[in-house]
Chains A and B, each alone.
Chain A
Amino acid sequence: MVEFEDVAVDYGAGDLLAEVSLALSPGSFHFLTGPSGAGKTSLLRLISAEIAPTRGRVRLFGEDPAGMDRDGIARLRRRIGLVHQDCQFLDHLTLAENVALPLLAAGHDPAAASQDIAALLGWVGLARQADALPPTLSGGERQRTAIARAVIMDPDLILADEPTGNIDWDMSLRLMTLFVELNRQGKTAVVATHDLALIRAVKAQTQARVLRIAGGRVALAGADL
C-alpha cells in the first residue's frame, strides 16, 4: 500500500528524516509517534504526496508520485482520507456539504449520495448538526466532521495527523474508536500522535503497530511503550 525506500527529507537545514524504509501493508494500523519537530507531519505529507522526498523513493498504491502531474496526484488523493489537527473546512458551506465536497471534486453528484452522507454523519454522531456551519462547531465536532469527510470517498488509506490535538480524553477515545472501526472495515490507517497514553489505550483494541521517529530515523517500537 505504502512503501518507502531509503527515503530522506531535507528542508534545507540538514536531513530531518533519513534512511527511512518501510512498507505499510493493506489493512494495517500504524501509530506514528515522536517528539514535537521529529517529523511526523513530514512523514504523513510524504505519504500524501504533498512533499517529495529529497532522496529515495516513495510508492503509493504501487505508483511513484514523483513522476506524476498535478492531476495524477489529485487522483491519488481521492484514495486517501486526510484528517488534520486543525482541519480546514469551507466555512460558508454546511457540515453535510463539506462532507460531500470530495464527491463533488471527483465529479460525482452529491445529491445522489445524500443517504451515505447522512449515514456517515450519524456514524460520527453529528446527524443533528448536518446543516450547521463549521465555525459554530466544537473542536471534537470538527474532528468528527473531518473524519466523515475523509471517508466519504471510501478511501483505501486514512492518514490522521494529531487528530486529538486539543480535545479532551473522552472525546479522544471516541475519535480513536472511529479509526479502529475504519481499520476493521479493511482500511489502512496511519495516526500520528505524541500522546502515548492514548496509544496504549487503543493499541489493545487493534493489531496496531507503533512507528517511532527519533533522531531522523523511523523504527518500530517494541513492547516498551
Chain B
Amino acid sequence: MKTIHLDGHEIPFEDGQTVMDCALAADKPIAHLCHLPGYTPYGSCRLCTVKIDGRFSSACTQPAREGMQVESETEELKEMRLGILRMLFVEGNHYCPSCEKSGSCRLQHAAYNAGMLDPHYRPFYPKREMDASHPDILIDNDRCIFCALCVRASRDVDGKAVFDISGRGLATRLVVNSKSGLLVDTDISVEDKAVHVCPVGAILVKGRGFEVPIGMRLYD
C-alpha cells in the first residue's frame, strides 16, 4: 500500500489521487473552497495550501506520491489560511447577517474554523452589479469568490457554457454567456448543477428565502 505522511499520520493513496483526495478519504480534511470532489481540480482559492517536502503547494492539485511529507496544521500554514480568508472577505461585500446563505456558506464556515474574528485588512467595498433578470435564479456578484465551480459544473456536468470568468486582477468578474450579459438570455435552467454548487451566496434560487430557518442550516 502506498502512503503519504500528513502531519505525522500515515495515509494511504491510490495512483491518480491528489493529496486532497486521500486526505478527505482518510477523514483528515484540509480546508478548501474551490475544490469539490468529482470536479476538475482548479487551485484558485489557495486555502488548501500545504507544505510538501518543504515547498508550498495546493493539496487539491498535487498528485500524491509515495513517501511525501505533507504539513497542514502548522502555525505558518494557519496564518496563511487566515490571510487568504480575510482577503476573500475584504475583496467582496459579505454582510453575513443579511445573507440567505448564512449558515450554509462554505466561506463563512471556513472562516469560523480558522478562528477568524475580524477582516483585518481594509475592505475594498467593490461596486458589483446584481443580476436579477432570470425569473428563478439570482446572481449576487458581491459575494462571488471566483472559484469557477459554476463554470465547471455548467461545462462538465450540464453540458452547457453558461458561466465564465472574465477580466483580470482585481477587475476579475463572473460573466454569463449571452450578448446582453444577462442570465435570462442564457440557456440556464434551475435544475442545472451549476445553480447549486456555489460555495457562497452568489448564485441563489429565487423564492427560497429563509426556507431553512437560521440556526438549522448545514453548518449552524
Answer yes or no: are A and B bound together in one complex: no
